[in-house]
Copies of this chain bind each other. A is one copy, B any other.
Amino acid sequence: MKLEQYFEQAEQYRDKMTACRRDLHKYPESGWREFRTTAKIIGILKEHKIPFRYGYEIINKDYVWSYPSEKELCAAADRAVAQGADPEIIKAMNGSTGACAVIETGKPGPVVALRVDIDCNDVGEDMSDSHLPAAEGFCSVNAGCTHACGHDGHATLGIYTCLLLNAMKEDLSGTIKIIFQPAEEGVRGAQSVAESGILDDVDIFLTSHLGMGWKTGQLVALSRDFLSTTKIDAVFHGVSSHAGMSPQDGRSAILAACAASLGMHTVCQDSRGASRINVGTFHGGTGRNVVADKAVLQIETRGETTEIERNVYHRAMESLEGAAKMFGCTVETEIKGSASSSNSDHELEPYIRAGAGRISEITEYIPESGFSGSEDATYLMAKVQSHGGKAAYMGLGANIAAPHHNGGFDFDESVLVTGVKLYASILWEILHK
């Protein structure tokens, strides 16, 4: 069969893909809690008899960040069932989300991994009529959870790309793995996948993000300059006291956290490249007339190289500990996520160029572009590159209705079929004959 015929098959997925994406959009699940989402993916893979791995086969628990408690996981699993997930699949998942489909062509050839992420954001959704999900009735029913970064689209793209590639199996060689990664938001999940072994035999790694400032029709082949990042929570403990009657007995965790916040923001001058720090949230104190005995900061550090980021991180730690000492407090810090810096490999650009050249919906091809943010796919890229494999992170243009992570985010659903065709076309380039 010719590639054009597979493109026609992809066209026939259009309505199903829209429905799938909207279903996922309505039932968004936060990182590590993607039970219904995973169960839906597994159900479809089973239905099409596509082999897959899941649970601790694809997650190394030594490398999970911000992992929920047993109780939270149970609650999330229960909600998944209440929202229609197959109870048997949920049970088999045994508390762990994410999956990896494995398509063996039976012919020798390279191992190619595709990766999509599946979790939602912890923001409330815009309920106004001007927001399409509200107007069309597929708004989030899970309070405080919204697919505001397009991972509902990514998951759908992963499922239908998997179905199409499975259908193309006869025309391809080698092995294809499609990874459905949990917990990308907060860069919490990829390192555990990278360390699970699932990538150890992978020669070529491809992933993509829809939107990200690129319009419908644009394609960036190689994203580069991902910033290395660490996500840190810091909890200051002071001593509570009545602020009027015995201020001398108190030690204000708020003041310590203030000094630390100001101090940390002074460390971003580095002649070697870009660095960043942000104290994004600050919550402290229990009452106006009480010396605050607790203050909690959510912090992130970034650097153009891992070395730069490590310097920012080290100095942030000094600032936190020193500020605690200054005000007679103590501080505890916890790493909540991290991503390394990374770059796409130029060796993959010709395949992507050729693949994209066959897709009429792709009207502007951009060989490479900076990313200027952080992504935990970098751990997966780095793992593949560490044993000599090649990796590329594509930017898949799609018009959006509001910025990423905003409650009014929505995207042009036409990108879904375009994306399936794109992956099919690139893999045809790599694995056909």
Contact = CB atoms under 8 A, between A and B. Distances in A.
Interface stretch (A3-11, A278-286, A361-369, A393-401): A278-286
A289 B280 contact: yes
B276 A266 contact: no
Contacts of A229: 244
A59 B254 CA distance: 36
A79 to B, nearest CB: 23
A244 B374 contact: yes
Contacts of A215: none
B227 A276 contact: no
Interface stretch (A21-29, A90-98, A255-263): A255-263
B327 A318 contact: yes
Interface stretch (A106-114, A127-135, A295-303, A350-358): A295-303
Interface string A298-328: 1110100000100100010011011111111
Given A243-B300, A244-B278, 8 more contacts: A246-B271, A255-B262, A258-B258, A281-B287, A282-B283, A283-B283, A318-B327, A321-B325
A12 interface: no
A290 interface: yes
Contacts of A258: 257-259, 261-262, 282
A224 B225 CA distance: 22
A208 to B, nearest CB: 18
Contact of A274 (B263, B271, B322): B271
Interface residues of A, number: 72
A115 to B, nearest CB: 21
A214 B28 CA distance: 56
A279 B269 CA distance: 13
B282 A282 contact: yes
Interface string A324-354: 1111100000001000000000000000000
Given A260-B326, A292-B282, A372-B271, A243 B276 contact: yes
13 contacts: A186-B288, A227-B244, A242-B373, A244-B278, A247-B276, A252-B278, A255-B265, A257-B282, A258-B258, A259-B262, A280-B292, A288-B336, A318-B327
A237 interface: no
Contact of A285 (B279, B322, B403): B279
Contacts of A262: 255, 258-259, 262-263, 266
